Amino acid sequence: MTVLSVNVNKVAVLRNSRGGNEPSVMAAARAVMAAGCAGITVHPRPDLRHIRPDDVFALAELTRGRVELNIEGNPFAPARGPYPGLLALVEAARPQQVTLVPDDDGQLTSDHGFDLRRDSAALRPLIAEFKACGARVSLFMDAGAADLDLAASIGADRIELYTGPFAEAFAAGDAGPDLALCAQTAEAAHALGLGVNAGHDLSQANLAAFLHGVPGVQEVSIGHALIGEALHAGLSETVRAYLRILAASR
């Protein structure tokens, strides 16, 4: 069965827009954990626009022995000010999963996967260091990426399919080609022994169609849509609604 990891970055965005501690990232994490999610996802960035290192450490304590912690980030981004770098965060927090993403400060959100023909040599030793911390390593990849064999050869355990184009096509009423491309990529990853996660702009509206069209997805990471929906329905009920979709997709 596909499991749900809830991305709590948006709670931190709201908190940071005002200063102080409200809304509380920790309270949000407790709520979604109590509702039954299998993991918490965070994406600390060097500019500290949302999740901060102190949030990562607090969430590591909260989740330990209860649900998985998934830390996303750019492994090439250097330490800056209070941001110690992704590897240092992982060494201290010891998450169950690290998702490597090729983003930069200028991006509002992650919007493309790795070019492994360019980056695989630099990623290989970093992946080994993350795995030495006890973390499963997932690489953020575009649907249709032609270099998945490199992901396997440099030691990645999983890929995370970037589902933004699928979600955009679904909203426009023509998701067929993008869904087929996601399915082909997932099938190719499985054939290489890679697990498959998925994330970006998945929502209650499109999740069931995605899972029906892309078998074998192990985890979906959902934050932006889930938090937006929760503004109306509440965090606990929104998480339960996602879990009902995942259960029905088995």
232 in catalytic set: no
CA dihedral 12, 17, 22, 26 (to 10 degrees): 10
> In angstroms, rounded to a whole number, what is the distance separating the alpha carbons of residues 211 and 220?
10
Q: Which of 43, 50, 160, 219 is catalytic?
A: 43
Q: Which of 68, 160, 200, 219 is catalytic?
A: 200
CB 99 within 8 A of CB 197: yes
Work out whether the CA dihedral 213, 201, 41, 191 comes out positive or negative.
positive
Distance from the Cα of residue 180 to its chain's centroid? 21
Q: Which of 72, 160, 219, 229 is catalytic?
A: 72
What is the DSSP secondary-structure string of 1-64? --EEEEE-HHHHHHHHHH-SS-S-HHHHHHHHHHHT-SEEEE---TT-SS--HHHHHHHHHHHT
| DSSP for residue 199 | E
212 in catalytic set: no
72 in catalytic set: yes
Task: Report, as residue numbers or ranges, the catalytic residues.
Answer: 43, 72, 200
